[in-house]
Amino acid sequence: MSKQPKTDNTCCRKTSVGGQALIEGIMMMGPRGAAMSVRLPNGEIETEEMPVKHLRDRFKPAGWPMIRGLVNFVESLSFGFKCMEKSAEKAGIDDDTDPEKMSKLDRWLSDHFGPKMMAVVSGIALVLGFALAFLLFMYLPSLLVDLLNKAVGGVLDAVRPLLEGIVRMLIFIAYMFIVSKMPDIHRVFMYHGAEHKTIFCYEHGLDLTVENVRKQGRFHPRCGTNFIFVILIISILVSSLVATLFPALRDQRLIWMAVKLLILPVVVGIGYEFIRYAGRHDNAFVKILSAPGLWMQRISTQEPTDDIIEVGIASLKAVITDNPEDDTIV
């Protein structure tokens, strides 16, 4: 008797397989390493193995608890950015090099940097992205809460870290909702949905077919969106503890933001350990902390079309072995 596809978001088998949505593609990591599949302009799917180097393989302390969280976070950002950039090239996003169609800035960069132009543009975009993230998620929440606290006569001092965390969450939700309305980002979110559905199909032990994948849920507990919300929740707890122990630090906004930047590695470390724990357990504690991220996936993932699902299947098949137990988490 053939297996029937399951439609819930529970996993029959917990695995280490994960991935990332790209421009017209998906990157997957599994027991065989990493690979990315991209839908080319001619309609074909191209799959490429991506070499992954981990600092923990060369430097043992990088794999220690609490330290490995920050190391893995930085490595994931770097590797994900590299895959995103390469997928854009494969999908033909960066093919427009006609001098007549280039802006003055693009032409100036091309004249001065030549073949290195894309690397320069990517570097500038990365710096601007970090600057925007700092303004939106660090400076703006602190500014808004300070203004509100002054307006009510300083009665919010004791709960300022909590309020800042809530404002930060609201800004993040609003930001994600707004960018999800952009056609290009919406399509990336469809690939994100295909990534989750494909992994669910694999974890349910079903054949990787479009029909089986289509019937899976798209809200996965090991999604990076969950990690972001866990980080936000833990940052509220840690910053509240620091503010209670050292109340004078809250009085100067710039000093307080510097303190939050300094404790960020600790927050990331705790968050990573929780995600590892959540990957092995399914208790009430895990469900409570994971709930906001799962809810947020209603925005960050969208239902994929069959052609997008095909890309997810191709990328997953490239990183798994014939033995399903090779990547089972116990």
Is residue 326, in this structure, part of any structural domain at all?
Answer: no
pLDDT of the residue at 115? 53
Kindly state the average pLDDT of the residues 123-127: 75
Is residue 131, in this structure, part of any structural domain at all?
Answer: yes
Dist. CA 232–CA 178, nearest whole Å: 20
Kindly state the average pLDDT of the residues 296-317: 97
pLDDT digits (tens, 9 = 90+) for 200-238: 999 999 999 999 999 999 999 888 888 888 898 999 999
pLDDT digits (tens, 9 = 90+) for 146-200: 999 999 998 988 898 999 999 999 999 999 999 999 999 999 999 999 999 999 9
Phi-psi region of 24 (alpha: psi -120 to 50; beta: other; left: phi over 0): left
Amino acid 61 reads P
Q: 255 is in which domain, residue-wise?
A: 18-319
Q: Does the pLDDT of residue 242 top 50, yes or no?
A: yes
pLDDT digits (tens, 9 = 90+) for 46-101: 999 998 888 998 999 999 999 999 999 999 988 998 999 899 999 987 555 555 55
pLDDT digits (tens, 9 = 90+) for 24-51: 999 999 999 999 999 999 999 999 999 8
Dist. CA 12–CA 3, nearest whole Å: 13
pLDDT of the residue at 24? 96
Is residue 134, in this structure, part of any structural domain at all?
Answer: yes
Kindly state the average pLDDT of the residues 292-308: 95
Is residue 163, in this structure, part of any structural domain at all?
Answer: yes
Kindly state the average pLDDT of the residues 257-268: 91
Q: Does the pLDDT of residue 19 top 90, yes or no?
A: yes
Q: Does the pLDDT of residue 105 top 60, yes or no?
A: no
220: three-class secondary structure by DSSP: coil
Is residue 325, in this structure, part of any structural domain at all?
Answer: no
Contact 302, 189 (CB under 8 A): yes
Q: How many domains does the chain have?
A: 1
pLDDT of the residue at 330? 58
268 — pLDDT class (breaks 50, 70, 90): very high
pLDDT of the residue at 326? 79
pLDDT of the residue at 1? 38
Q: Does the pLDDT of residue 302 top 70, yes or no?
A: yes
Q: For the sheet with 18-22, list strands across it.
A: 18-22, 25-30, 33-39, 45-50
Is residue 13, in this structure, part of any structural domain at all?
Answer: no
Is residue 98, in this structure, part of any structural domain at all?
Answer: yes
Helices (H) and strands (E) in the chain, counts: 12, 4
Q: Does the pLDDT of residue 287 top 90, yes or no?
A: no
pLDDT digits (tens, 9 = 90+) for 311-322: 999 999 999 998
**250 contacts: CB under 8 Å, gap ≥ 6:** 157, 160, 161, 243, 256
